[in-house]
Copies of this chain bind each other. A is one copy, B any other.
Amino acid sequence: MDLFYIVDLAGVFVFAISGALAAREKKLDLFGVFIIAFVTGLGGGTLRDVMMGRTPVFWMQAPIYVGMIFGGTFFAIIFRKKMHYLRKSLLLFDTIGIAFFSIIGTEIALSFSYDLHPIIVISIAAMSACFGGVIRDILCNEIPIIFHKEIYATPCVLGSLFYLGLREVNFFDDYISSFVAIAFIIVFRLFAIKRSLELPKIN
């Protein structure tokens, strides 16, 4: 799980940057920027933990996560004028982040003491990966972007489903399956960005 742990932390770092940049556009002050970075990076997992009853929530027991939020926030503030150079890298890291968050969320749901239905497991995975951004947008007084733009949650949902399928057929070792599913999410999302795919609107 070592690699998982490192990527998980890196994901929180990148999410914090994305939150801090969104907060900056709203002209928030230092405290506001930090809080938006916090909820973007840790909000999805917090919501998951609260709804599942895994309390105190994960970051309360592992302050390194709050450290990553500090790190991401200050990184974003220091390099704020140069962020457009990093736009592509950030998008890539964000994609890697949601891929890992989805599979970590799936794992957490599977290892829960209650026997959860696959549809619940997938919901929990998608919540872990995507709802930090939802809370960020609500605090910034916007309709959450993932509700009307981009393909964002879809790869998470399908990737989590794919992972459950791989485990079921038991073709690979679970550890390898998780990386296959993560790769699937990353490729799917990058392809969707490349082609500017969007989900159908309901008219």
Contacts and interface: CB of A to CB of B under 8 A. Distances in A.
How many copies of the polypeptide does the oligomer hold?
Answer: 3
A201 interface: yes
A170 interface: no
Contact of A200 (B30, B143, B148): B30
Interface residues on A, range: 35 or more
A49 to B, nearest CB: 8
A17 interface: no
B114 A60 contact: yes
Interface in A104-161: 112, 114, 116-117, 119-120, 123-124, 134, 138-144, 146-149, 152-154
A70 to B, nearest CB: 9
Most buried by B among A112, A140, A141: A141
